[in-house]
Homo-oligomer: A and B are copies of this chain.
Amino acid sequence: MNIFFVADLSTGSFFLNKEESKHCIKVLRLKKGDQILVINGKGSRYQAVIQNPDSNACNVTILNEERHQITRSYHLTIAIAPTKNMDRFEWFLEKSTEIGIDRIVPIICQHSERKDLKTDRLGKILISAIKQSGQLFLPELTQPIVYKDFIRQSFNGDKFIAHCDAGERRVFKNSLIAGKNVLVLIGPEGDFDSAEIKLALEQGFVPVTFGESRLRTETAGIVACHTFCLVNQ
């Protein structure tokens, strides 16, 4: 059954937003009486029926409702520098959402070539990815934040920085403990600069490596995300 997203689900009857209405009526050509699934990205899944197939504001009535809670007590945050090529960052967002991530923080670093983001468009990629992969929880995508401001924030869990600079680094896989909150920092194309690495170490971040291959920013993000999922699988 086709899945639609409504951020604020009410009870009884409600409207799909303009974009979802258009997709439902114009693209999928659903009719009055057709059934759909609606999720809110916060654990609810409603089975609903189309009442008024308006392609600007499709009205639906709820048939039944499931509410799910996140069953795990630990979460993954990846703080990652947006790539110069936006496609690569969007690909990271889609793939990490499919694989499973809780929070994505775009960080602006010394070597960042991209310092702004269209978070509206990026939010849609996350929604599309949870619909596609059958998930009920939408990852949080924060506004971009300057690296030095971000890493001074407190974090309840294990903190890692994945950099390519010289110096001792642990293998990421072997540094993870199942069931613990994790925060990983992933740098931009030119890597973190030495002052940024020094600052992270002072803040208690553990330097890690993903292996011998030199990974692109977005690949490192996916590898970090998938390693976390496997360790907790």
Contact = CB atoms under 8 A, between A and B. Distances in A.
B229 A211 contact: yes
A214 B132 contact: yes
A85 to B, nearest CB: 12
A215 B100 CA distance: 10
Given A223-B226, A226-B226, A135 B173 contact: no
A98 B215 contact: yes
A154 interface: no
A190 to B, nearest CB: 14
Interface string A67-110: 00000000000000000000000010001001110000000000
Interface residues of A, number: 24
A134 B226 contact: no
Nearest to A91: B91
Interface string A165-187: 00000010100000000000000
Task: Select the residue from A100, A211, A216, A226 with max chain B CB neighbours within 10 A.
Answer: A226
A63 B153 CA distance: 50
A95 B222 contact: yes
Contacts of A214: 132-134
A10 interface: no
B132 A95 contact: no
21 contacts: A95-B219, A98-B213, A98-B215, A98-B216, A99-B213, A99-B215, A99-B219, A99-B223, A100-B211, A100-B213, A132-B214, A132-B216, A133-B213, A133-B215, A133-B216, A134-B214, A173-B233, A211-B233, A222-B222, A222-B226, A227-B230
